[in-house]
Amino acid sequence: MRREIPLLITSIAGLVFAISYFIPHWPFGESESIFGDWITIVQSFAIWLGALNLLKVSFEKIYRKRKDSLYAGVIIFCLVATLIIGFYDGFSGLMQEPEVSFRAPGTHFDWVFVYIYTPLSSTMFAMLAFFVASASYRAFRARNFEATLLLIAAFFVMGGRVPLFDLPLLKLGISDVPYFSLFADWIMSYPLTGGMTAIMIGIALGIMSSSLRIILGIERSHVGGA
Amino acid sequence: MLSTVATILMIIVGLSMLYILYRTIKGQPIERRYVFLYIALAISLPLLMQKTAPVPVTRDVMKLVDALNELPPGSKVLAAFDYDPPSAPELQPMGVAFMKFAFKHDLQVIIMGLWPQGPQQANQAILEAMKDPEIAAKNLQYGVDYVNLGFQSGNEFVIQSMGSNFKRMFPKDDRLIPYDSLPIMNSVTNFSNIDFVFNLSSGKPGTVEWVQIAVDRFGAKCGAGNTAVQAPQVYPYLRTGQLTGLLGGMSGGAEFEKALDEEGKASTFIFSQMISHATVIAFILIGNVAFFMSRKKKKQ
């Protein structure tokens, strides 16, 4: 029964969503809405589960005195501090008339978001620029025909997505000649779109077949089966 | 003064790259850490120069601008902010330009987010837009002219549920005001009451989900702004007409600002991106010179 019940739930949920797409009327339309609400609730709990798991992993690191346990301490401190600030703002907001959300501009939580979270996460993301540049320097080599094609496409797209080569024409106000960016646009519109569409169709077919396997109970790996 | 110093430094950096090329031809390629240094300079110095770069407005951006221009005053636009601060340099200028346009053209804006940080990004965009004297003079009312419904977990299922009933997913807005107490939401039940969906996205859930559910299933009209990394994934939807228009990355933002005549941060940032792209292209060329030199050496 430990396997059969989850398999049954999966099959029913999968069938309801599949059928309701084609028959959006009672009872399928209603069932889909109810299932949608359940998904929202389950996902909300998943956020908590993620936070608790992060705490567990971090505490374990500190307890076992593993390498970089200092960072685990920073994670715990930040998580707890943000939670306390969020709860404090949330409760004090509920006491006010009219009620104020913890995320509203001017709250402590908003201050944390604007002045701590935003610059820190932007910094982390900005590191990508350095790695992309370094990877381009080392990887974009005209080693063979395919690599040369990739190199040429990269040259056109990188130069065309910014007004780098169009700058003289734009500065002079010449508009009756094709801009360099049009080449980048062409690459994005045709070769890229064609390739992406093929990949997307492939993925969709793959999803359909594995979904059918799950709905029919053939694929059981998600309940610990083979 | 700062701008002049930055310009001089930029010229020195450019000349030093020629020296790197010379060294490479001589068979002395540079180490990877120098690439990092040059990229840092190529990004930061142009920002200090405070220059803008002229951009040609491409077809995909113009399509979105045309669709927005076609909306009569009072139209209800759903703005979905599905991104977080790391993507803000690319997407926030689009959000600000959109808000300015919407408020100036008396569009009624309904904001929401499938990402927890999205609604706060929207709040920042509203604050920035409100600094415009023309918009400030309008004395726009929250709940009447615009509303922030906030974040709802559930990814694409939120869009799916909104297809039957918005209130089901957002019983209260971001300020905890009940749905029924918001005058702007009085006539909104589902997507049939929304004239346009504008989505700013940097991943999943994002534009792909909005197209697959709101557009394909519920017939909404949708335009989007995406990060440069994500844009290639949504190009197929653009060509089929499922997506009305697309703003791709920083250049999309700069083009959007130009087309709306709302020069903002993207118009400044694009100059920095242009110089950094030029630096990367230069390093790719230098890398290839180094590669061919080493191959020649091996043959000898």
Q: Are residues B95 and B240 in the same domain?
A: yes
Residue numbers of the domain that contains B73 = 59-262
- H or E stretch including B199? strand B196-201
Separation in Å, CA of B287 to nearest CA in chain A: 5
Partner residue facing B152 (CB), from A40, A129, A166: A40
| Residues A67-87: tens digit of each pLDDT | 889 999 999 999 999 999 999
Q: Does A96 touch chain B (CB under 8 A)?
A: no
> What is the side-by-side order of every strand in the sheet holding B196-201?
B146-151, B108-113, B76-82, B196-201, B222-226, B246-248
Q: Dig out the tokens for B183 from the structure.
A: 């005058």
Q: Are residues B75 and B220 in the same domain?
A: yes
Query: What per-residue confidence (pLDDT) applies to B293?
Result: 84
Q: Are residues B82 and B192 in the same domain?
A: yes
Cα separation of B41 and B279, whole Å? Answer: 10
Q: Dig out the tokens for B152 from the structure.
A: 């709802």
Q: Are residues B256 and B211 in the same domain?
A: yes
The CATH number of the domain holding residue B254 is 3.40.50
Q: Are residues B6 and B114 in the same domain?
A: no
Residue numbers of the domain that contains A46 = 1-63
Query: What per-residue confidence (pLDDT) applies to B243?
Result: 96
Using CB atoms and an 8 Å cut-off, which of residues 29-58 of chain A contact chain B?
A: 29, 32-33, 36-37, 39-40, 43-44, 47
Q: Are residues A46 and A85 in the same domain?
A: no
The residues, ordered by sequence, that sit 6+ positions from A203 with a Cβ below 8 Å of its Cβ are: none
Chain B residue with minimum CA distance to A34: B161
The residue to which tokens 């309940």 are assigned:
A223
Q: Do B88 and A118 touch (CB under 8 A)?
A: yes
Separation in Å, CA of B251 to nearest CA in chain A: 6
**3-class DSSP state of B109:** strand
Q: Are residues A59 and A71 in the same domain?
A: no
Q: Are residues B159 and B222 in the same domain?
A: yes
Q: Do B43 and A129 touch (CB under 8 A)?
A: yes
Q: Do A163 and B56 touch (CB under 8 A)?
A: yes
| Residues B185-228: tens digit of each pLDDT | 999 999 999 999 999 999 999 999 999 999 999 999 999 999 99
Asked whether the whole model's pTM tops 0.90, one would answer: no
Q: Which of A93, A119, A139 is the last residue of a domain?
A: A139
| Residues B259-284: tens digit of each pLDDT | 999 989 999 999 999 999 999 999 99
Task: Give how many domains chain A has, as a whole number.
Answer: 3
Q: Are residues B158 and B223 in the same domain?
A: yes
Three-state SS annotation for chain A:
CCCHHHHHHHHHHHHHHHHHHHCCCCCHHHHHHHHHHHHHHHHHHHHHHHHHHHHHHHHHHHHCCCCCHHHHHHHHHHHHHHHHHHHHHHHHHHHCCCCCCCCCCCCHHHHHHHHHHHHHHHHHHHHHHHHHHHHHHHHCCCCCHHHHHHHHHHHHHHHHCCCCCCHHHHHHCCCCCCCCHHHHHHHHHHHHHHHHHHHHHHHHHHHHHHHHHHHCCCCCHHHCCC
Chain B residue with minimum CA distance to A103: B120
Partner residue facing B281 (CB), from A93, A100, A155: A155
**Low-confidence stretches of chain A (pLDDT beneath 70):** 175-178, 225-226
Residue B171: closest CA among B144, B147, B149, B146 = B149
Q: Are residues B107 and B205 in the same domain?
A: yes
Q: Are residues B120 and B28 in the same domain?
A: no
Query: What per-residue confidence (pLDDT) applies to A142?
Result: 87
pLDDT at B292 over 60: yes
Q: Are residues A189 and A166 in the same domain?
A: yes
Q: Do B176 and A39 touch (CB under 8 A)?
A: no
Cα separation of A66 and B118, whole Å? Answer: 36
Separation in Å, CA of A206 to nearest CA in chain B: 17
Query: What per-residue confidence (pLDDT) applies to A177?
Result: 67
Q: Are residues B23 and B87 in the same domain?
A: no
Q: Are residues B156 and B231 in the same domain?
A: yes
Cα separation of A87 and A94, whole Å? Answer: 10
Q: Are residues B137 and B172 in the same domain?
A: yes
Q: Are residues A97 and A75 in the same domain?
A: yes
Query: What per-residue confidence (pLDDT) applies to A225?
Result: 65
Size of interface A-B (CB pairs under 8 A): 179
Task: Give how many domains chain B has, as a whole number.
Answer: 2
Size of chain A in residues: 226
Q: Are residues A110 and A160 in the same domain?
A: no
Chain B residue numbers with beta carbons less than 8 Å from the beta carbon of A110 are 120, 123
